[in-house]
Structure 1
Amino acid sequence: MSKKLGRGGVFYREFTTLSVFHTHYLMLGMVFFLLLVVVKKNFHFVDNKVLKYLLFYRIGLNLTVVMLTIRGVVQVLSLDVSSAVLSGIGHLILGISMILVLISIRNCVKDSF
């Protein structure tokens, strides 16, 4: 059992771009949603439209992280594969959905005051 766990750790250490992977997932995955909880508690901005934006945000985040993992594997194995397109699409989805959520928050805050 411990050998299998060790192999998973070796894969994770050797085949992922750890500094970029951790930063993206931690900041964009956890901190963003923790800040949304605080804002939602004060301004109640979440409706069906915002829930769709947040779904696209999660899709973009996970696509970005998967492509960062694939990029790490490609770099370690020195393969000639370009993963920039899918990683770019993930970042694009992230950016657009984040802007839409922030616009929704701004409109709700503007209506509150």
Structure 2
Amino acid sequence: MRKPLHHLFVSAFVYGGLALASGLFFREFTKANGFPEDGVTQLGLAHTHLFSLGFFPFLILLGLERVFRLSAAPRLFGWFLWLYHAGIAITAGMLIVHGTLTVLGIASSPMISGIAGLGHIALTAAIVVLFFLIRSAIRRVPADGADTAAAPALP
């Protein structure tokens, strides 16, 4: 990967935008269809999932990349990114599909839950890979903590 910091920044930005857009869609779609405000739907969960699984983790990963250079293990870093992005896309997509069907009063298929489960499995696998990345990054840091290459000196 050529520019991991840029990729992580853009990912956080995109997921933040998608989270805001999904929240707006939830609010306006339920209002337009006369869905009760206290009605239960998974449509509203897409907003919080995109923030909590997309926006915030990528902001945290920016700091971890800056300090530990997680991308120094490019294969693992690539696997993590692909699994994590796929997991978020599948999970949030199925929340939106299921929630939209609920608002429209259409019965949902169990297949939607199964596909959402695949998204959660991908996220779980990505988190496992992330821990391997962090472990390998920590092992690269000298025992005395004097890793001058990882963090440049402040002016």
TM-score band by shorter chain is 0.7 to 0.9
Pairs aligned (count): 105
- The separation in 2 between residues aligned to 1:17 and 1:74, in whole angstroms, is 9
- The separation in 2 between residues aligned to 1:53 and 1:72, in whole angstroms, is 28
Give the alignment's TM-score, normalised by structure 2. Answer: 0.60
> % of aligned pairs identical?
23
- The separation in 2 between residues aligned to 1:80 and 1:58, in whole angstroms, is 25
Give the alignment's TM-score, normalised by structure 1. Answer: 0.80
Structure with more of its chain in helix, by fraction: 1
How many angstroms does 1:80 deviate by? 4.2
Question: Do the aligned partners of 2:70 and 2:133 also contact (CA within 8 Å) in 1?
Answer: yes
* Structure 1 residue ranges (4+ consecutive) displaced by more than 3 angstroms after TM superposition: 12-16
Matches within 5 A, 1:67-86: 67-76=94-103, 77-82=105-110, 83-86=112-115
More off after superposition, 67-76 vs 47-56: 47-56
Question: Do the aligned partners of 2:91 and 2:119 also contact (CA within 8 Å) in 1?
Answer: yes
- 2:60 aligned with 1:42, yes or no? no
Q: Which runs of 5+ in 1 are unaligned?
A: 1-7
Q: Specify the code of the residue in structure 1 equivalent to 2:107.
A: L
Q: Relative contact order, CA 8 A, sep 6+: which one is greater?
A: 1
